[in-house]
Chain A
Amino acid sequence: MQGAEKRGEFEAAVLPHLDAAYNLARWLLRSEHDADDVVQEAYLRAFRFFGGFRGGDSRGWLLTIVRNVSYTWLRKRRPDELVLSLDEETHGREDGAPDPEAEVLRQAEGQSVKQALEALPLELREIMVLRELEGLSYAEIASVAEIPLGTVMSRLSRARSRLRDLVGSCLGKEAPR
């Protein structure tokens, strides 16, 4: 039967990447419940488009869909987050200026790196997750995030310096002298 056969192939190729898909959605949306919904929606969409998938990098293909569904979701339910980070993208924020979200997060102690990552603006958080947690190459990130390679490099550089500022005190101890 056609449907069952397609489903079998799809599950073999794409279900193994569920953790990666969930991790990306969870970091983009910062909510367990929303990540569940978005990942399920992304899988259904991927299944419908599976006929057009030519083989190759199924993880990158799935992550591109997860990212698109996450952004659509944010645009509908939390447009403020997109506006804020796009604004920052063009005008820049003065380093060290108080970020209300980061301030709140920093009040709880003991998980500073995680909190700092969570406090990064959307685009910078996304690029750190793809590079540091999922281990994607620059070319893979460019393809998943649909941005030119030069933007991958400049965003990564900005993301790391923001993150360094946020967790600065902890790093000082580890840095080689």
Chain B
Amino acid sequence: MSCAKPRELIHAHLDGELDVVRSLEMEEHLRECTTCADEYGTLRSLRSALSVQDLSFKAPPSLHKRIRKALRVESKSEGSSWAIGWRWLSAAVPVAAVAVLALAVLPLLGRSGGDDRLIDELVSGHVRSLMVEHLTDVASSDKHTVKPWFDGKLDFSPAVVDLADYGFPLIGGRLDYVGGRPVAALAYGRHKHFINLFVWPSPAASADEEQATSRHGFTLIHWSAGGMTYWAVSDLNPAELGEFAGLVRERAVPPAATSG
């Protein structure tokens, strides 16, 4: 007997790469389908066979020494050329320009490790949604269908905007789990690309500027407004995703203001 379930999904389950919903579905399937259960059992014993012996090679201490020595030599030769570069820069560029440059760089330096973890989680959420074609729990291009779907599933109500006229059609919504809490994920399309817009309430009431970053080839744009935190994740280029973020920002009116 064979099973039509893609083999890759069994591997993704073993590797903990499926989202909660798909992972539960897979567990249920494994209880029913002996073909897949056998396959899964074999994969698990393969993994334990790999972990029984320590197969990792440790770097010899001599290599550690060699590298540190090579770096010392390298940094001496580089140090001199850097010093020349700085002297040239300070002479040629007005002080004001350097100050502006420093201001532009500061937000990047100030990013905390917590943000890094969050960004990783958001990218994984985006990747997972594409991998198992689980972009949406409720598939609809109608915001009046998508928005009520979240009621009762989340303790907040995300604003859902329709951007089809601007070339970003709404595809649907789903629940995701980011930073230890359930969040709303809205899926939009752009030609053949997908955008995940993650939304959850933020403690800061103030509106933040948009900030763009990239990770593993994906672009992320983050802002907060009206007591909500927004993260747009996509493989789109930063300019197009920026356009999308600007449109959402303009149109997503905080839910408190719309009621009544």
Contacts and interface: CB of A to CB of B under 8 A. Distances in A.
20 contacts: A1-B79, A2-B79, A11-B71, A22-B63, A39-B67, A40-B66, A55-B111, A55-B116, A57-B120, A57-B215, A117-B50, A117-B55, A133-B56, A137-B15, A137-B17, A138-B131, A156-B11, A164-B46, A171-B45, A171-B49
A19 B59 CA distance: 5
A86 B57 CA distance: 26
Closest 5 pairs between A and B when the two form their complex, measured CB to CB: A3-B79, A22-B59, A3-B75, A7-B75, A174-B45
A3 B124 CA distance: 37
A98 interface: no
A163 interface: yes
B22 to A, nearest CB: 14
A176 B39 CA distance: 11
B42 A175 contact: yes
B53 A160 contact: no
Chain B contact patch, size range: 35 or more
Interface string B57-98: 111100110111011101110111011001000000000000
A176 B82 contact: no
B70 A19 contact: no
B41 interface: yes
A88 to B, nearest CB: 19
A18 B49 contact: no
A26 B63 CA distance: 13
A20 B155 CA distance: 42
B24 interface: no
A84 interface: no
- Chain B CB count within 10 A is highest, among A39, A111, A174, for A174
Interface stretch (A75-83, A89-97, A100-108, A139-147): A139-147
B215 A44 contact: no
Contacts of B67: 15, 18, 39-40, 43
A10 B71 CA distance: 10
Contacts of A132: 47, 50-51, 55
Main DSSP-derived SS at the B contact region:
helix
Contact of A3 (B53, B60, B63, B78): B78
A127 to B, nearest CB: 11
B253 interface: no
Contact of A47 (B12, B15, B41, B74): B74
B149 to A, nearest CB: 28
B68 A111 contact: no
B260 interface: no
A38 to B, nearest CB: 11
Contacts of A39: 59, 63, 67
Given A23-B57, A36-B63, A160-B46, A139 B123 contact: yes
Nearest to B50: A132
A23 B45 CA distance: 23
B127 interface: yes
A7 B15 CA distance: 37
B139 interface: no
A132 B50 CA distance: 8
